[in-house]
Structure 1
């Protein structure tokens, strides 16, 4: 089974090479989308944890979160907070992949914690591993302010058509 590519090439004309279609999301549209995701966090777990989206697309989502307020009793970043951040960026990417007429539902997430973070922010980058018709999987790297890897996660979401009235 093959998936439909995100950007199809224009049909070839004799003597003219195929050209990729221009990016379907111009810079202003991406900025508006980023603002929309940050506004949508109001009242959600993302807002409570201080997650701020920096970049959003189906292929890559970047967000940051403060360590302060997301710690365990020893003052270290809570492992569960890292998992929430990873699930947030992966789920947003999968939802964007699903499109306006689709939804993304988490199926699996796993995380390996490499080092402690005590202050500042951590930044998560979700990079698409596979964007299929029914599944979307992302590799998530969470780094501290010094660029050291704090956590590595992988999330897989099921992509479905939105139920009627959703």
Structure 2
């Protein structure tokens, strides 16, 4: 779904499809929200990304991010789950065209066809620019994300 990895010009006349995958991650700091960018995430494993997330989050909270640390994002992930938020609608960071919101996980009963069993559920929400992405593509994208997150093996392959 290449349109999720694109940017829209300020006058909305030019859509640029990115040839790289750089993901911004919103970080709450004492000085407000900042969005450092992870470069070339498609070339890194989950362990490397986890280490990089911890390091850049600390750098952000310490107020030591550079301009380069916050440039070049294609898509942003914002997590308010740590604050106890159960649902929210994140706002797209222009010129990006989409953002994923992650809320607090909780155990919930899920019917498996025979009985209710406990399952960890994580509410996610997707906001996107309808000039670039329509609702059907948004639904397909969120389904893909949900399927990937429901089976951890898909993330480590």
TM-score bracket relative to the smaller structure: under 0.3
Q: Please tell me whether Structure 1 or Structure 2 has the larger radius of gyration of its CA atoms.
A: 1
Q: Normalising by structure 2, what TM-score?
A: 0.28
Structure (1/2) with the larger helix percentage: 2
Structure (1/2) with the larger strand percentage: 1
Q: Normalising by structure 1, what TM-score?
A: 0.27
